[in-house]
Amino acid sequence: MRALISLICIVAGLAGPATAAGFPESGDIAKRGLTKADFPRWIELAPNVFAYEGLEFPDTADIVVTTVSLVVITSDGVVVVDGQGDVRQTQDMIDGIKKRTSQPLRYVIVASDHIDHVAGNATFKAAYPNVVFVSSPVSQRNLAKNENPPTETVADKRVITMGGTEIQVLNIGRGHTGGDLVAYLPQSKVLFMGELYMRHIFPALRSGFPSEWLATIKKAQAMDVSWYIPGHGFVDDMASMKADLEGYRVALEYVIKEGKRLHALGAPCPNTGKPPSCEALKQANWGPYLGWAWDENQARLAISKVYQEVEGKLPQ
């Protein structure tokens, strides 16, 4: 029997690392055996509280990951936290909302102002003309030329209560965008983190604040939360989501340390926006994170952003 158990463990090890839910540690839909036809997906976290999995644009290696939104349905209206990256996927979400309720969409909270979370916002406005877009002041400035810029802002905290459901819109610190917000539902203990949490995806630092991002994740981990929901990556059971947030924090910490090591070596990586310019990339050791989704197009950007932080050149 002991030999049989050992054999099973060996075979499981050959299959590669897995999450607590038994899935591979990857945000790549193909590694889950899924295709674009399997999306969108609705995951009910609590009564009438859903994680909505749409799809991100393929990266340069043709890897596709999920783009996650939060949908909260109440007897007095609907709140969406982070939209999707195009009109079609946003319309798919709207169609799903209308199947579940006749209540109107009242608020769209912009947790991340990046295009893959806001490019379909005009579709929300067309379907629900009275919808209000809410963001941080930083994201409002970033989206000033957007077709539907946020008209209300949250610098620290705002509480939206609808149909007896409380939604706390919080600014707990900078991370991926500099204007990051999170949404916390104290009754169901759901925390939607947006792009502050990208489950099993190589840390995307191209517009980030490396050390501040680590501190922001720690603040989230100190909260009374059952469900940690990412802006990208699969949503599985609550234990896996919590464990993998810590895993993501460790991954981000590893990438920052590696960037600092390369900087100390004097390996150049200018922030020019062109891939051929980063000699440091050839000397990088990404350890267990080599092969994480998006590593091919995010690694160089991560190095250059860490260099900016070390040199005191991050934007204020």
Q: Which domains does the chain have, with CATH numbers?
A: 12-237 (3.60.15.10)
Lowest mean pLDDT among 52-61, 116-125, 265-274: 265-274
Task: State phi, psi for 168 to the nearest 5 degrees.
Answer: -95, 120
Whether residue 113 is predicted with pLDDT greater than 70 in this model: the reply is: yes
Mean pLDDT of 236-241: 97
Contacts of 271 (CB under 8 A, 6+ apart): 304, 305, 307, 308
Whether residue 7 is predicted with pLDDT greater than 80 in this model: the reply is: no
- Helix, strand, coil shares of the chain, percent, nearest 5, are 40, 20, 40
Task: Provide the pLDDT for residue 23.
Answer: 80
Lowest mean pLDDT among 23-32, 86-95, 116-125, 228-237: 23-32
Task: Provide the pLDDT for residue 59.
Answer: 87
Task: Provide the pLDDT for residue 20.
Answer: 55
Mean pLDDT of 15-26: 63
Task: Provide the pLDDT for residue 15.
Answer: 34
**pLDDT band with cut points at 50, 70 and 90 for residue 24:** confident
Give the pLDDT confidence of 247-278 residue by residue, as tens digits.
999 999 999 999 999 999 999 998 765 556 79
Q: Which of 244, 262, 251 is nearest to 202 (CA)?
A: 251
Whether residue 282 is predicted with pLDDT greater than 90 in this model: the reply is: yes
Q: Using a cut of 0.75, tell me whether the model's pTM lies above it.
A: yes
pLDDT above 70 coverage of the chain, percent: 91
User: For residues 192 and 52, is the Cβ–Cβ distance under 8 A?
Assistant: no
CA distance 305 to 256: 9
Whole-number mean pLDDT of the chain? 92
**pLDDT band with cut points at 50, 70 and 90 for residue 60:** confident
Both structure tokens of 278:
């980063």
Task: Provide the pLDDT for residue 272.
Answer: 62
Q: What 3-state class would DSSP assign to 41?
A: strand
Both structure tokens of 14:
């050959």
User: For residues 79 and 167, is the Cβ–Cβ distance under 8 A?
Assistant: yes
Pick left, alpha or beta for residue 152 (phi over 0 → left; psi -120 to 50 → alpha; otherwise beta): beta
